[in-house]
Amino acid sequence: MIKGFRHILFPEVCISCRELLDTEENFICTACFAEFNPFPGSGAGGEALKRLVREHFSEDQVPSDAWCLYPYRNSGQLHDALLALKYGGIFPIGALFGRKLGELIASGGQHAPFDGIVPVPLHPLKCIERTYNQAAKIAKGISGVLRVPVLDKLLVREHYTDSQTGLTSSARRKNVHDAFRPGRLKCPNRLLLVDDVVTTGSTLIAAARVLRESGASSVAFATVALTEKE
């Protein structure tokens, strides 16, 4: 009721098409969400994510469980939404994507198969620059659905790495290989590692390695999107 009232006073528009939103819509209208073209079926995105990791890394690095919502190209409505999330300060979209990921995970019937959800951390300076970590916003959305805590102190990003955009697969790997170290908290067993977009998987692989060295027995991956081919 309060939201409805607020909506009349401050009508909100879709961040993608700029059309007015209905009261039950948040940030992105239903039509634009449909344009994002999710992977068909609940397991297809996860399989695509595993396949992508397999293309660049050895079999033992491929996570046993993975989830991904959308194939990603460097243009279009999904691109706009992800840029708005990462650089545009529209962080509530992160929670929206996170809830969709949470529902996708829950649809497999495995309720809360994790002890914690770990967002890929930004370097503290980059976090100050951008004011928030987009992966943490996505993790929070997943947490709301699965009722599993977000553990954002398990990993620390040590290096202020340059953007991975435009780097080759091996340059990406080198760029992030030592980017993370364990935080001070004790690492629980089963973790879900979360990021926004995955291109070769090098960031997820580097972060998962540190989590496993810290005592995690399994590290599953969840990302909003994966770049199909550059």
Which positions lie near Zn ion, rule CB under 5 A? 14, 16-17, 29, 32
CA 154/CA 187 separation, integer angstroms: 7
**Between 17 and 106, CB nearer to Zn ion:** 17
By C-beta, is 88 or 215 nearer to Zn ion?
A: 88
Q: Closer to Zn ion at the Cβ: 20 or 112?
A: 20
CA quadruple 208, 211, 215, 221: dihedral, nearest 10: -50
Nearer to Zn ion, 13 or 112 (CB): 13
Q: How far is the CB of 165 from Zn ion (least distance, A)?
A: 26
Minimum Å gap between C-beta 19 and Zn ion is 5
CB of 24 to Zn ion, least distance (A): 14
Q: Are strands 180-182 and 155-157 parallel, antiparallel or unpaired?
A: antiparallel
Smallest distance, Å, CB 33 to Zn ion? 8
CA distances to 22, 49, 103, 164, 181 from 99, rounded to whole Å, are: 19, 19, 6, 26, 28
Residue 2 tokens read as 């309060």
